[in-house]
């Protein structure tokens, strides 16, 4: 899944600087392969701690915004990164929820540390509240590849049922996973146009559609 995400990042034209927060040998090798920076994470404090480290690096370097992407959204495509930046306010945030609306699968903040990110079960509502409390616009964007995370066996089954041929899907298809039904994916999962609103109450067309913690929602 990490390789799928990093590969999608590499296809993002005019992308900003990219860094992986990790001390995992495989992830470090992958970062080198794609010429991305590594922010060392020797103590592995968890997803929230890793994001705090990355946020401090952004602030120390004077980087104007941060975009947090987890490693367990293997269907993400480069256009989705681009769309986040298109929808991003001059100052404020963009949040992309998981398909079930409970987790947060992408978080854009400008400035980079506009509000703290705290991950765990059901993080989306707290993140939305924190973003709105800043008084700056917060765009909630639905996006198909970002929404499809893998936290538990049911998510893995949905990953197999969705169209695509990512590394993660090819690997999972070699496994004997019980309970996968051959049924069409609904239109919302495939993508389309749906409204997304910001904290100032307006509504405009939006595109619809770190690391996984088994059994949990980020």
The structure tokens listed for 8 are 């999608």
**152 pLDDT band (50/70/90 cuts)?**
confident
Establish if 90 belongs to a structural domain.
yes
Residue 179's pLDDT band (boundaries 50, 70, 90)? low
Question: Which residues lie below 8 Å from residue 193, measured CB to CB, with a gap of 6+?
Answer: 205, 206, 207, 208
Does any domain span residue 156?
A: no
Is residue 118 included in any domain, yes or no?
Answer: yes
Burial category of 165 from C-beta neighbours within 10 Å (exposed 0-12, middle 13-18, buried 19 and up)? exposed
CA angle 113, 116, 119 (to 5 degrees): 135
153 within domain boundaries? no
Q: Which of 3, 60, 8 is nearest to 26 (CA)?
A: 3
- Which DSSP symbol is given to 71? S
How high is the pLDDT of residue 60?
97
Angle ∠(67,73,76) on CA atoms, nearest 5: 75
Across 96-110, 142-156, 169-183, least confident range: 169-183
Residues of the domain holding 91: 64-148+185-208
Q: What is the distance between the alpha carbons of residues 24 and 172, in angstroms, rounded to a whole number?
A: 22
Retrieve residue 27's tokens: 């992830």
Decide if pLDDT at 63 tops 60.
yes
What per-residue confidence (pLDDT) applies to 218? 59
Indicate the burial class of 89 (C-beta count within 10 angstroms; 0-12, 13-18, 19 or more): middle
**Pick from 76-85, 89-98, 200-209: least confident:** 200-209
CA 102, distance to chain mean position in Å, is 13
User: Residues 3-29: pLDDT tens digits?
Assistant: 999 999 999 999 999 999 999 999 999
Provide mean pLDDT across the span 145-160: 91
Residue 99 within a domain:
yes
In a domain, 86, yes or no: yes
Lowest mean pLDDT among 38-42, 81-85, 160-164, 213-217: 213-217
Confirm whether 123 is domain-assigned: yes
CATH number at residue 140: 3.90.550.10
Please state the domain count of the chain: 1
Please report the pLDDT score of residue 176 as a whole number. Answer: 74
This prediction has a pTM of: 0.81
Residue-wise pLDDT tens digits, 196-218: 444 433 333 222 223 333 344 55
């Amino acid at each position: 899944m990490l390789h799928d995400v990093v590969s999608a990042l590499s296809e993002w034209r005019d992308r900003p600087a990219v860094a992986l927060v990790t001390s995992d040998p495989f992830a470090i090798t992958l970062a080198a392969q794609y010429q991305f920076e590594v922010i060392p994470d020797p103590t592995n404090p968890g997803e929230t701690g890793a994001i705090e480290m990355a946020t401090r690096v952004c602030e120390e370097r004077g980087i104007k915004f941060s975009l947090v992407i987890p490693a367990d959204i293997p269907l993400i495509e480069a256009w989705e990164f681009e769309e986040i930046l298109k929808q991003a306010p001059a100052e404020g945030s963009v949040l992309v929820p998981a398909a079930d609306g409970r987790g947060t699968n992408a978080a854009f903040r400008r400035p980079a540390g506009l509000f703290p990110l705290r991950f765990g079960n059901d993080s989306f509502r707290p993140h939305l509240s924190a973003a709105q409390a800043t008084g700056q616009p917060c765009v909630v964007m639905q996006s198909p590849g970002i929404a499809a995370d893998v936290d538990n066996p049911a998510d893995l089954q949905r990953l197999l049922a969705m169209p695509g041929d990512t590394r993660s899907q090819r690997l999972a298809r070699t496994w004997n996973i019980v309970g996968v039904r051959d049924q069409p994916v609904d239109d919302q999962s495939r993508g389309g146009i749906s409204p997304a609103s910001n904290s100032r109450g307006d509504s405009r067309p939006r595109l619809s559609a770190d690391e996984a913690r088994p059994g949990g929602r980020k």
